[in-house]
Amino acid sequence: MMQERDPKEEDDDFQPPKKKTKRKVKEDRFAGPTTGDVLQNYSKEFTCKNTAASNSWVLKTFQAWMRNRRSVELPTDEQVPEDILSSGDAELLQKWLICFVLEVRKISGEKYPPKTILHLLCGLQRAVRLQQRSSSFNFFDKADHRFQGLRNAFDKVCRELRREGLGTIIKHAAVISTKEENTFWEEEVIGINTPLQLLRAVFFYNGINFALRGGQEQRNLKWSQLTRASQTTGGTTKVCYIYVEHGSKNHSGSSSDLRHQNKTVTR
C-alpha cells in the first residue's frame, strides 16, 4: 500500500490555507437617530420654490375673484362659498370653477391667455388636493366625468381667446449671436479686467457650455460635476470636460426621476 506524501515535502513554498476571519461590522456605519423636527420635515411633501410661489399666486388670484364676486349684489345661492376648495361636492366645485374660468381677468382688466388659465386651474387642482387629502378629483382626467363640464368650458374659452389673438404668439428666449457675444467683450460687459466682468463671463460661458437653465443651476454648480477627460476624433486626441447634471428645474432628483438619465454635456 502506497504511503501518502506530505504536501510540505513536495513543495518547499507550501503555505497552509489561511483561516477565514469574520468581517467586523462597524457599529457606527449608520447615521444618528432621527427625531423631532427633522423627521417631521422629511415627512412633508416636497414642493420646489417656483411651484410654491405659483401656488401662492393662484390662491391670491382665486381669493381676489371671490371677493370681487361678493361685492356684487347677487342672490345667496350665487355667492361663492368660502370653503369651496375644501368642499367634497364635485358638482358644486365644478360650477364655481367654470365661473372662475369665464370671469378671471388680469389686474388691468384684460383677459388671460389660454396657457395662463390652464396654469391657474393646475394651481387650483393642487390646492384642492392639499386641502382634501383623500380627494380623488382630477380636473383634467377624461375618465373623471364629474369635471367634464369644466373641461368643455375651458375648451370653449380657449377657442374664443385664440380667435381674439390671445395666446397665438409664443415667446421664446432670444438666441445670442456671435456678433452680440463679441459686442459683450468690446463694450466690456464681460471680460477679465475687473471682478464683475469676470463674474459675468463665468456665468455667461457656464450657461452656454453646460446648457444651464436659470440662476439656480448656476448657484448649485459644483466641481464634482466636472470631469477632465480626453477625446479622440479623427486620430487627434484633445482634452475635454464632462459635465453631469445633478438636478434641474424639470428633474429635481425625486424618486419619480430615478428612471431619468441625468443630462451629460461634453466640452
Name, in order, each residue with C-beta under 8 angstroms of 126's C-beta and a sequence gap of 6 or more.
51, 55, 58
Q: Which residue has the cell 454648480?
A: 221
d(CA 170, CA 156): 20
* Percent helix, percent strand, percent coil in the chain, to nearest 5: 50, 5, 45
Q: Please state, for a pLDDT cut of 90, what percent of the chain lies above it.
A: 44
Check: CB of residue 219 under 8 Å from CB of residue 207. no
Q: What is the pLDDT of residues 54-63, one digit of tens each?
A: 999 999 999 9
User: Model pTM greater than 0.75?
Assistant: no
Q: What would the mean pLDDT of 84-96 be, rounded to a whole number? A: 92
Q: What is the pLDDT of residues 210-220, one digit of tens each?
A: 888 777 888 88
**In this model, does residue 149 exceed pLDDT 60?**
yes
Q: Where are the alpha helices (DSSP H) in the chain?
A: 7-10, 36-43, 49-70, 90-103, 114-131, 148-163, 178-186, 195-210, 214-219
Check: CB of residue 53 under 8 Å from CB of residue 47. no
State the Rg of the chain over Cα.
Answer: 31
214 vs 160, residue with greater confidence: 160
